A and B are shown apart, each in its own frame.
Chain A
Amino acid sequence: MGIRTTNKENMYRSPLGAGGNQFLIFVKKECLHIWRDKRTLFILIVMPVVQILLYGFALTNEVKNAKIAIFDQSRDEATMVISDRIAASRYFDLIKNVHSYKDVEATFREGKIRLAVVFPLGFRNDLLHTNHAQIQLIADATDPNTANMLTNYATAIINDYQQSITQNQQLPYSIKTQVRMLYNPELKGAYSFVPGVMALVLMLVCAMMTSISIVREKEIGTMEVILVSPLKPFRIIIAKTIPYLMVSMLNIASILLLSVYVLDVPIAGSLGLLIAESVLFTITSLSVGILISNTAKTQQNAQFTSLMSLFLPTLLFSGFLFPVENMPLPLQVISNIVPAKWYYIIVKSVMIKGLGFTAIWKETLILMGMTMVLLGISIKNFKIRLA
């Protein structure tokens, strides 16, 4: 009657032992849900790519005509020449000569300038008599990349000048540029973005999508039937998470490929270690998702909880946008319970700094502990009955 006659032996023997078949069809069903919801699938696959690319473009954008101020306390021949050269550069647009540090700060606060060049008193004197002089470059580092580029440009101009006067002398003059970054002294930017996106994407895909998919079954009533079936609750949970684990792996792959080949951010450490740690963090996120689904009653509810309790803390406390060290102590303490913080440290160490497992075993252990606890609670709370 149009029903396939499958080999019964195959139907009931499964390599996963008793109930393995039930488990496999559940995973298959989950994959179908994801596959057939093309819009969500598209977002899941493309979102990380877009984030990485957007940032890539932001990075390579040249800065032109950045507004600057000069605070010249020396007003001598040398400072004039340097000032002229800087002002003449196409990168800079001198809009103001200021006369005190207070002025410098005020001008920054008004948002009028992105960089200030400060010459100390007796600049030329120092340069000619001690061969050592200093220039201070103060940059608005709320946008760390721009700040970084501007100080680099300015330093290049100053080095140019230094070379031009050194040519006629036997003794090398040296001008030391002292860079001060306002607002974001650590200049977290370029390299910190890739690990940050990885943490965010994994958290979102795993936790939010898992919790939504579990809650959806509660909403449409299928969860009741599945609970009444002989399928063990533990297997339901695992089956629910496997497809999202796979999507996450795909995301990690796309992020790493893009960052290496498009953004030129190399993987300095071991790729195997990086992937292993990512799997660990994925499991952490999945267990958070299951935990959310235990309490959420509607899909919107699950989505909102995921965003508020995962997305924002990950953004704020993982350290990739705002340095944790600069936060008030209570916030620093809070940041410790955000799993993404530890994953972020791990990825940065392995990927950017090229460190090995010995450098991150502590963080790995913390993440593992968190995962065990979360997984334990979420599986224990996953009810074999309703309410």
Chain B
Amino acid sequence: MIADKKNIDLIDSSGNKAAKAITVENIVKTYTVKKTVVDALKGISFAVEKGEIFGIIGPDGAGKTSLFRILTTLLLADSGKATVDGYDVVKDYKAIRNRVGYMPGKFSLYQDLSIQENLEFFATIFNTSIEENYDMIKEIYQQIEPFKTRKAGQLSGGMKQKLALCCALIHKPSVLFLDEPTTGVDAVSRKEFWEMLHQLKLQGITILVSTPYMDEAGLCDRVALIQKGVILSINTPKGITGEFGKPLWSVKANEMFHLMNSIKADPEVESCYPFGQYHHVVFKSQENVKEKLERIAREGNYTGFEVHAIEPNIEDCFMALMNTHNP
């Protein structure tokens, strides 16, 4: 605790290369919806280094959007402190508004304006022009430039996303906030989008990005897994899977659904979740686990049975963490 405190003081006073792009300390946010109080954020803390791609990974209702709105000064937290680029989100909201780029979750641009008109509008309200910061968006904009007179409403999902990113980047923000940019977008566009983010990282922009897709965690430098307003873990993707702690087994048979029921029925089994064509199984104690699984398969007459020891992925970790947090 003491070490942490010291660290933060040091950042505040110096503002040198050690300074963080984003700091969040004990942020609490509650809403009252129809007389019931909803805890959106239950005192979360983290820090994002400059030039990092930091992922906020969690399902709907985890508090991701509230967090983004607090950091982009659109919402006031009930308590806690947060800074963006060294500025306080409450006191210095004007300074922050000048230096961040923001793509809200449901952001859909002006459907009746063309690509160029949309971009020109956002450039101008951020006090700049397309020409002035053309370098910044060049890589992305070139892909949609051939269609620049087309209305945003007539673009495909992937193209819309590229335009939205251009609009968020046009004023050379130092920190980019992307709230669920890949939700509802097909796998091809999602992949392209992440490639663009890695290009941007090379230009030194700090990126805070949220997503409900666990498989995107691996594309971030560091991630925070968040669930019901609580951060379950903060680490590099490798670090998170390294924290899993228990051997993980992947099993397969031709009768997958029955196999799962049989495995779950075994009192020795801690968890069994379907994962694509396999089930991922964790045991409470680790002796002779492989034999136990093979016995289950034999007793149930399962055909085509396979069992492998595997490395956990982020989703395995997320579910394990969910279980320890809400047993």
Contacts and interface: CB of A to CB of B under 8 A. Distances in A.
Interface of A: 1-6, 8, 11, 19, 21-22, 25-26, 29, 32-33, 36-37, 220-222, 224-231, 384-387
B305 interface: no
Contacts of A224: 69, 72, 74, 102, 104, 107
A21 to B, nearest CB: 6
Interface residues of B, number: 43
A22 B125 contact: yes
B76 A221 contact: no
21 contacts: A2-B145, A3-B130, A6-B129, A8-B129, A21-B127, A29-B113, A32-B117, A33-B112, A220-B106, A220-B108, A220-B110, A221-B104, A225-B102, A228-B72, A229-B126, A230-B94, A230-B125, A384-B93, A385-B73, A386-B69, A387-B75
User: Which interface residue of B72, B132, B138, B145 has the most chain A CB atoms within 10 A?
Assistant: B72
Interface in B188-229: none
Contacts of B111: 220
A314 to B, nearest CB: 30
Contacts of A226: 125
Interface of B: 31, 69, 72-76, 93-94, 97-98, 100, 102-113, 117, 120-122, 124-127, 129-132, 134, 138, 142, 145, 148, 167-168
A29 to B, nearest CB: 5
Given A26-B125, A29-B117, A222-B107, A230 B131 contact: no
Contacts, number: 99
B131 A25 contact: no
A386 B110 contact: no
A289 B110 CA distance: 21
A343 B60 CA distance: 50
Nearest to B106: A221
User: Which interface residue of A25, A26, A222, A386 has the most chain B CB atoms within 10 A?
Assistant: A222
Contacts of A386: 69, 74-75
A4 B120 CA distance: 11
Contact of B112 (A2, A3, A25, A37): A37
B75 A385 contact: yes
Contacts of A25: 120-121, 124-125
Contacts of A22: 124-125, 127
Given A220-B111, A230-B126, A225 B73 contact: no
Nearest to A239: B125
A4 B138 CA distance: 15
Contacts of B104: 221, 224-225
A5 B94 CA distance: 30
Given A2-B145, A21-B127, A221-B108, 19 more contacts: A3-B130, A3-B131, A25-B121, A26-B121, A29-B117, A220-B106, A220-B111, A222-B108, A224-B74, A224-B102, A224-B104, A228-B97, A230-B94, A230-B97, A230-B126, A384-B93, A385-B73, A386-B69, A387-B31
Given A3-B131, A5-B131, A385-B75, A228 B110 contact: no
Contacts of A227: 74, 97
Contact of A1 (B98, B103, B127, B145): B145
B73 A228 contact: yes
B32 to A, nearest CB: 11
Contacts of A222: 107-110
User: Which interface residue of A5, A226, A385 has the most chain B CB atoms within 10 A?
Assistant: A385
Contacts of A230: 94, 97-98, 125-127
Contacts of A221: 104-108
Contacts of B124: 21-22, 25
Nearest to B132: A8
Contacts of B93: 384
Contact of A36 (B112, B122, B134, B168): B112
Nearest to A21: B124
Contacts of B112: 32-33, 36-37
Contacts of B108: 220-222
A1 B135 CA distance: 11
A314 B127 CA distance: 42
A369 B287 CA distance: 84
Nearest to A5: B131
Nearest to A37: B112
A228 B121 contact: no
